[in-house]
């Protein structure tokens, strides 16, 4: 069984700009793969090549074993694309949109009707089905957009920043739909700038930067690579800070850091060290604890450690980054 | 690799049951339907399309008409074919050039291009829907024309032939307009370009004035303009007179425009 997606040595240049620089990516069928990176990293270019919208300059890109350059039509018949910009017809109703897409995907008329109704209900658009998308909220439009991609039951769906610009509630809705999709066995390639989104949804991740994959693995693997969980303890009495540091060092065998301004002590929590034990020990030593926080390393930490900068850093260059990816 | 062949079939449920031509027709129909719905659901576009010919007929008949000598003929009789052809071109300029340019920047085009549908269908649907619009515009134009004194003097069949010729010419020009719309960088540029290219076509022709009053070099241009051929053909068919040569010229221009710009536009669409 060939992988859903396999690229090897994929390169794409736009003028003097190198969008993809020997990108390697393999996504097994039935999994959700997150493509994570700042704007301009090459996420959208990768999706556009795999969706047969643009051709690579070098290297190969295969969808279920079929090269996108050799037989684009065949690739198109099994993929669904939800791009960054909602791809719905503003003047057709929600139902008409889905029906049109279904017919263009070669579904029979009765199939189209049934499938459109099913998706509209499932995506909570039943009441809005016969209105034009210009009356929809951003979240509803996005759901219609995703529904359109699912009309022909694609085996592979591309979601290019599906929640960018959505409010938190709409984002949760899209996440819920995605989880349902995956339960159906659909393979998903998800691009996102939101580390939390990738963490929540993806089975495996590739962090890309400047057109190459710099690290990949499961979210847990990547986080493990960055380091251990951290515990933060807020004290009520500044006088016990030094004693607390000493106790933590003895107990955990790691190096605690004191933050006198916030009256906090932070320390890496090695495997096997549990929070209740620690609290018990402090109470026995007569140290009053105001607050305790356990923080797992996030994908933000992963990004920072592999690229040397924060994932949010690219947000300022938003407009120019988009333009360079879509000349 | 037998497992591969098996898994490929799930996504497309009835590809096998219809042949490629039938699906191509279905694609074109879907795209035409979509564009016709756009026209019907844009009240301001409908108003603009229908008010414009009325305005032009009234303006030319009552403001300029008295000062233009068309050889003893009623000016309305002379004018109407010119207005009909001009309106067909305006429709293409405003509708197709600007519409296509605007649409190419929408996510929907990426969706279409990532689907197994025919690539010619998107533009065919667009241009075919122009015919639909032109029928409406021509109907209103003729109606107002009849009110201000225009008459079909050549009989019913030539009148119908003239209207069909008009639709063919308008259709051919919409392919040129589509190519133009695909060639400009953005919708703003299309606004500028779309409104400009029709002026040398419509004004420097026999549409509103007899070309005899123009300077010689301009006369030569006007005489060979496709617009002049179309206007003269319609004039001959509606009023009487030798029509064959003008009709053939118009058909030749139309076929030529389609033959050149349809493939160019389709290629441009595919390569974007």
Kindly indicate the confidence band of residue A20, based on its pLDDT and cuts at 50, 70 and 90: very high
Residue A280, domain CATH? 3.30.70.100
Count of CB atoms within 10 A of residue B15's CB? 16
pLDDT of residue B240: 86
Chain B environment of A92 (Cβ under 8 Å): 34, 37
For residue A260, is it within any domain?
A: yes
CATH number at residue A16: 3.40.50.300
Q: Do A202 and A260 belong together in one domain? A: no
CA distance A198 to A204: 9
Does some domain include residue A310? no
A199 pLDDT tier (thresholds 50, 70, 90)? confident
Say if the Cβ atoms of B34 and A107 lie within 8 Å. no
Contact residues on chain B for A149, CB-CB shorter than 8 A: 111
Chain A contact present for B4, CB below 8 A: yes
Between residues B17 and A44, which one has the greater pLDDT? A44
Does residue A159 sit within a domain? yes
pLDDT digits (tens, 9 = 90+) for A152-195: 999 999 999 888 877 888 888 888 888 888 888 899 999 988 88
Helix axes B156-183, B244-271, angle to 10 degrees: 30
Q: Which residues contact A273 (CB under 8 A, 6 or more apart)?
A: A251, A252
What's residue A315's pLDDT? Answer: 40
Has residue A320 got a pLDDT over 70? no
**Residue ending a domain, choose from A224, A253, A275:** A224
Q: Which one of A83, A100, A103 has the shortest CB-CB distance to B110?
A: A83
> From the CA of B173, how many Å to the nearest CA of chain A?
25
- Do residues A280 and A166 share a domain? no
Residue of A84, A87, A132 lying closest to B108 (CB–CB): A87
pLDDT tens-digit series, residues A253-304: 877 888 888 888 888 787 666 788 888 888 888 888 888 888 777 777 777 7
Judgement on whether residues A284 and A163 belong to the same structural domain of the protein: no
Do A209 and A256 lie in one domain? The reply is: no
Lookup: tokens for A291: 């607050």
pLDDT at B179: 93
Cα gap A204→A223, rounded to integer Å: 12
Structure tokens at A50: 């795999």
pTM for this prediction: 0.80
> Do residues A79 and B119 make contact, with C-beta atoms less than 8 angstroms apart?
no
Same domain membership, residue A73 and residue A14? yes
Spans in chain B with pLDDT lower than 70 = 1-18, 272
Do A176 and A65 sit in the same domain of this protein?
yes
DSSP label at residue B98? I
> Of A165, A196, A224, which residue is a domain's last?
A224
Residues 6+ apart with CB under 8 A from A57: A11, A12, A13
Specify whether A9 is located in the same domain as A74: yes
Residue A254: give the domain boundaries: 228-295
Q: Structural domain tally of chain A?
A: 2
- Which residues from A are below 8 Å from B106, CB to CB? 85, 87
User: Is the Cβ–Cβ distance between B202 and B121 less than 8 Å?
Assistant: no
Whether A210 maps to a domain, the answer reads: yes
A161 and A291: one domain? no
CB A233 within 8 A of CB A289: yes
Token couple for A142: 């996005």
Establish if A161 belongs to a structural domain: yes
Whether residue A115 is contained in a domain is answered as no
Residue A275, domain member (yes or no): yes
Domain membership of residue A287 (yes or no) is yes
In angstroms, what separates the C-alpha of A261 from chain B's closest C-alpha? 51
Both A255 and A215 in one domain: the answer is no
The residue that leads in pLDDT, A6 or B93, is A6
pLDDT digits (tens, 9 = 90+) for A76-132: 999 999 988 778 999 999 999 999 999 999 999 999 999 999 999 988 899 999 999
Residues A10 and A71 in one domain: yes
| A58: β partners | A11
Q: Which residue pairs from B253-258 have beta carbons closer than 8 angstroms and sit at least 24 positions apart in sequence? A: B253/B169, B253/B172, B253/B226, B253/B229, B254/B168, B254/B169, B254/B171, B254/B172, B255/B172, B256/B172, B257/B172, B257/B173, B257/B175, B257/B176, B257/B226, B258/B171, B258/B172, B258/B175
Q: Taking CB atoms and an 8 Å cutoff, what residues of chain A touch B114? A: 51-53, 76, 79, 81
Closest-CA distance of chain A to residue B58, Å: 33
Within this chain, do residues A257 and A213 fall inside the same structural domain, yes or no? no
**pLDDT of the residue at A130:** 96
User: Highest-confidence range of A129-138, A237-246, B207-216, by mean pLDDT?
Assistant: A129-138
What pLDDT, on a 0 to 100 scale, did the predictor assign at position B219? 85
Question: Residue A169: exposed, middle, or buried by beta-carbon count in 10 A (0-12, 13-18, 19+)?
Answer: exposed
Contacts of A96 in chain B (CB under 8 A): 37
Q: Out of A199, A224, A249, pick the residue that ends a domain.
A: A224
Which tokens sit at B214? Answer: 């123009």
B139 to chain A, closest Cα gap in Å: 25
Whole-number pLDDT of residue A308: 67
């Amino acid at each position: 069984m060939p992988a859903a997606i396999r690229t090897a040595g994929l390169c794409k240049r736009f003028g003097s700009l190198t969008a993809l620089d020997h990108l390697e990516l393999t996504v097994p069928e039935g999994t959700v793969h997150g493509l994570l990176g700042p704007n301009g990293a090459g996420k959208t270019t990768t999706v556009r090549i795999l969706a047969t919208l643009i051709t690579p300059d070098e290297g190969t890109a295969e969808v279920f074993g079929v090269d996108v350059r050799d037989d684009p039509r065949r690739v198109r018949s099994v993929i669904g694309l939800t791009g960054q910009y909602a791809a719905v017809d503003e003047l057709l109703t929600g139902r008409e949109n889905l029906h049109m897409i279904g017919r263009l995907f070669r579904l029979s008329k009765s199939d189209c009707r049934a499938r459109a109704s099913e998706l509209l209900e499932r995506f909570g658009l039943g009441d809005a089905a016969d209105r034009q998308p210009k009356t929809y909220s951003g979240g509803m439009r996005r759901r219609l957009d995703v529904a359109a991609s699912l009309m022909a039951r694609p085996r592979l769906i591309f979601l290019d920043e599906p929640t960018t610009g959505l409010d938190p509630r709409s984002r949760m809705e899209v996440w819920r739909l995605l989880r349902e999709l995956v339960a159906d066995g659909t393979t998903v390639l998800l691009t996102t700038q939101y580390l939390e989104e990738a963490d929540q949804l993806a089975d495996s991740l590739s962090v890309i930067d400047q057109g190459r994959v710099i690290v990949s693995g499961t979210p847990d693997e990547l986080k493990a690579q960055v380091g251990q969980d951290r515990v933060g303890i807020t004290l009520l009495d500044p006088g016990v800070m030094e004693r607390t540091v000493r106790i933590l060092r003895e107990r955990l065998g790691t190096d605690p850091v004191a933050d006198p301004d916030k009256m906090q002590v932070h320390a890496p929590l090695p495997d096997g060290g549990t929070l209740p034990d620690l609290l018990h020990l402090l109470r026995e030593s007569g140290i009053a604890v105001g607050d305790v926080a356990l923080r797992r390393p996030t994908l933000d930490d992963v990004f920072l450690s592999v690229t040397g900068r924060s994932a949010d850093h690219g947000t300022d260059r938003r407009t120019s980054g988009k333009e360079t990816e879509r000349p | 690799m037998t497992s591969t062949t098996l898994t490929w079939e799930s996504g497309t449920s009835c590809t096998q049951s219809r042949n490629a031509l039938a699906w191509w027709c279905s694609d074109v129909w879907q795209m035409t339907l979509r564009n016709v719905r756009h026209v019907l659901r844009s009240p301001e576009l409908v108003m603009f399309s229908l008010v414009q010919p009325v305005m032009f007929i009234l303006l030319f008949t009552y403001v300029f008409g008295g000062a233009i000598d068309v050889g003893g003929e009623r000016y309305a009789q002379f004018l109407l074919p010119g207005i009909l052809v001009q309106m067909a071109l305006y429709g293409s300029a405003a509708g197709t050039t600007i519409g296509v340019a605007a649409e190419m920047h929408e996510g929907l085009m990426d969706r279409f291009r990532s689907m197994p549908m025919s690539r010619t269908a998107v533009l065919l649907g667009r241009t075919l829907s122009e015919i639909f619009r032109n029928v409406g515009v021509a109907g209103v134009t003729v109606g107002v024309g009849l009110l201000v004194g225009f008459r079909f003097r050549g009989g019913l069949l030539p009148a119908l032939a003239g209207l069909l010729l008009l639709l063919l010419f308008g259709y051919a020009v919409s392919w040129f307009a589509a190519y133009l719309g695909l060639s400009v960088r953005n919708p703003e540029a299309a606004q500028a370009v779309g409104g400009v290219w029709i002026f040398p076509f419509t004004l420097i022709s026999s549409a509103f004035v007899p070309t005899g009053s123009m300077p010689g070099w301009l006369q030569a241009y006007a005489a060979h303009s496709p617009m002049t051929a179309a206007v003269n053909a319609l004039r001959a068919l509606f009023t009487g007179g030798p029509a064959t040569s003008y009709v053939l010229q118009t058909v030749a221009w139309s076929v030529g425009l389609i033959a050149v710009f349809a493939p160019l536009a389709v290629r441009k669409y595919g390569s974007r």
